[in-house]
Amino acid sequence: MIISRIIGFESALPPFTVTNDDLAKIVDTSDEWISSRTGIRTRHLTADQNTSDLCIIAAEKLLKKAGWAPESVDLIVLGSVSPDYTTPRTACLVQEALGCKNAFCFDLAAACSGFIYSLSVADKFIKAGGVKRALVLGGETLSKITDWSDRSTCVLFGDGAGGVLMEASEEGGILCEDIHSDGSKGMALTAGYRTNKSPYYKGEPKSSEFIDMNGREVFTFATRKVPESIKTVLEKSGTAMEDIRYIVLHQANTRINDVIARKLKAPAEKFFTNIDRIGNTSGASVPIALAEMNEKGLLKKGDKILISGFGGGLTWATMLIEL
């Protein structure tokens, strides 16, 4: 049986960081409010890079460390809701920069679940047999779709990118997944609404570039659906919580993740968190966390880890991976 093995974890963060005190100079907020409600203390924000720039840095490191020739990559999938262009997509920009000329490339927009959705899609291409090597990335420059006068959202987000390499294998890899969407609650978290501007369009022209969120609704959704999803993956795969080395949740908010941990009755040391330094980087948060864990030597061959993303759409997705 073909299994998609994951090799290599890398990330790229803009060098510029902004503290809660810095934000208190531009909106009516405080370090105490932000850190007590979200766990966030500082975040990286791009000063001159776009999403593709960060993705290219992460992807270059991945290929270099694995010793993969760029031409050997068959597929690039990139989870993002803040691409450089509508077209060409960021995955194509990465392809060009790296010289992955044999890959077919596309972006996948599933907000904060985007990286795990992308892993799932790449996994299916690998299992179907057409793809042997895939580059899967999550990259965001949310700062360009953030309303910097809205204190309820601008304090939450950060920029960054991360990714992994996937290869057809006979052992390890993606063992089980649980993936969902609920469009009926989509308006709880929106960005980038656009109506038509053609001379023939009769409706009211309207656009809203920025992220708009009902924080309480998103909080309730995440704390309800993510524990269910993780329990489903454990049951479907016949895995006990004790066999899981780490749980890497989308880094949206410490309070959300604490509630999820409580509902799962899982010990705090199983949960990796870096939200205090990174903020919410949407589709990039899980691969950025994995890269940091790898850098710190926390990821060991044979370990089973759970990764779970949740957010706009609404979407949520959990995956069990054996390293």
Catalytic residues, which ones?
112, 250, 280
Instruction: Say if residues 307 and 116 touch (Cβ distance below 8 Å).
Output: yes
Stretch that binds ligand COA, among 29-37, 44-52, 131-139, 288-296 (CB under 6 A): 29-37
Interacting residue with ligand COA among 36, 152, 195, 208 (CB under 6 A)? 152
Q: Which residues from 242-261 bind ligand COA, rule CB under 6 A?
A: 252-253, 256
C-alpha–C-alpha distance, residues 6 and 23, integer Å? 37
Residue 146 interacts with ligand COA (CB under 6 A): yes or no: no
Stretch that binds ligand COA, among 3-11, 39-47, 148-156, 296-304 (CB under 6 A): 148-156
How do 17-19 and 42-44 pair as beta strands? antiparallel
Least distance in angstroms from the C-beta of 46 to ligand COA: 19
Residue 104 interacts with ligand COA (CB under 6 A): yes or no: no
Q: Which residues from 254-293 bind ligand COA, rule CB under 6 A?
A: 256, 280
Residue 155 interacts with ligand COA (CB under 6 A): yes or no: yes
Instruction: Output DSSP code: residue 211.
Output: -
Residue 162 interacts with ligand COA (CB under 6 A): yes or no: no
Nearer to ligand COA, 6 or 189 (CB): 189
Stretch that binds ligand COA, among 73-81, 135-143, 201-209, 213-221 (CB under 6 A): 213-221
Nearer to ligand COA, 125 or 271 (CB): 271
What is the DSSP annotation of 217-284? HHHHHHHHHHHHHHHHHHHHHT--GGG--EEEE--S-HHHHHHHHHHHT--GGGB---HHHH-B-GGG
Residue with tokens 């990559």: 73
Interacting residue with ligand COA among 66, 175, 219, 294 (CB under 6 A)? 219
Q: What is the identity of the amino acid at 175? A: L
Residue 216 interacts with ligand COA (CB under 6 A): yes or no: yes
- Least Cα distance to 115 among 57, 160, 53 occurs for 160
* Phi (first) and psi of residue 307, to 5 degrees: -120, 145
